Amino acid sequence: MYEKIIKTDLGADVKIIDLRTDTISRPTQEMKEAMYIAEVGDDVYGEDPTVTELERRSAELLGKEDALFVASGTMANLIAIMVHCSQRGCEIISGDKAHTYRLEQGGTAQIAGVQTAPVKNKDDGTFSLDELREKIRKNPDMHEPITSLIIVENTHNLCGGKALPLDWLEKVSSIAAEHNIPVHMDGARLMNAAVFLKVTPRRVVRDVDTVCFCLSKGLGCPVGAVLAGSTDFITKSRRIRKVLGGGWRQAGVLAAAGLVALDTMIDRLRIDHDHAFKIAKAISCLNSNICEVDLGSVNTNIVMISFIHPSFTPADFAARLAETKEEDSIKVSVRIGIRQGAKGKGFTRLVTHWEITEEDVNLCIAKIVMVIREFEKRTISKL
């Protein structure tokens, strides 16, 4: 359970539940034991058997020829971009809310030297196929960059953890194939998408050329991501990984946790999804004039809360959720602080993960409902 029990100045116990993101979850006991006994070697020389096995298993799971264990999803995406966009003057097409475009320090331009042509993301994480066609540069002249890659994100972070429709992915792939352009999937939470869609991970990534997924988010590993694609793509990716400082040595210690995750952590993501939906439903049922949740948009483990009253902001909400007043225990039965991340103007985000229990969810709901009702009373008092 990801929680902390702390003592306040008043001597009372306070329970802190962390819903900022799923990256803060700690490895399971089974992962720790596997890491302790892992067989290791120098992976730069291709001599770490545990890393090799993780890469083999991951490629098999995704239906790709080969895979590469890397430090993070950000590194995996950057490597993919650098391999696909190997000449100067390349351009990629991605959604305007894409992680690679918004939340990776502009590494596409900063390190890879690649320009991004954004297309507007819809609420479901997709983008217009007509706009995609318009963005592709057909037979560019000497004044234009060269369209070299299309990136999709699944699940889509800033669109609330949406799983991309499989038929839409097939259409994107078809358009890309018309122009001989590869498609890369930023699948940081790919396994969440597979569980929500009730299909295999292999099916989710069938229509993309390359894909990465994080081990360190919902799968609970301490660190790491996997990048997969053709054998030639991974050979080139391994070289790029080295220049980025990502050459592992005895990385089997980390890869061992990844192997446990593939065996034990994918199917159980449904629990995280159910927990997120339960929180979202409790907020939705309030019919509050302060904030709202689009219940139909909650696909996986992310709850996006929109603020509809101008007097209150996501920062106000976050501060009160984290605050543990003495009188809170009367309304919630225990003094509880909730950590969450305000991610943008007018909305905030809650993310469930494997260390959040049913009891934690119930306590969170009680605290959230209490805070929303408090805000509503303040609104009435201002009239």
The string of pLDDT tens digits covering residues 264-289 is 999 999 999 999 999 999 999 999 99
Confidence of residue 345 (pLDDT cuts 50, 70, 90): confident
Token pair listed for 248: 């592992």
User: What pLDDT, on a 0 to 100 scale, did the predictor assign at position 331?
Assistant: 66
Determine the residue type at 229.
G
* Dihedral sign for Cα atoms in the order 193, 198, 201, 204: negative
Kindly indicate whether the domain formed by 3-25+267-382 is annotated with CATH number 3.90.1150.10: yes
Q: What is the mean pLDDT of the chain?
A: 93
> Token pair of 208, please?
């993309």
Between these two residues, 50 and 379, which has the higher pLDDT value? 50
Q: Which residue has the tokens 């080295």?
A: 242
Per domain, the residue ranges of the chain are 3-25+267-382, 29-264
pTM for this entry: 0.94
Q: What is the mean pLDDT of residues 205-231?
A: 98
Pick the CATH number of 29-264 from 2.70.98.60, 3.40.50.970, 3.40.30.10, 3.40.640.10: 3.40.640.10
188: enclosing H helix or E strand: none
Q: Give yes or no for residue 101 having a pLDDT over 90.
A: yes
CA distance 309 to 312: 6
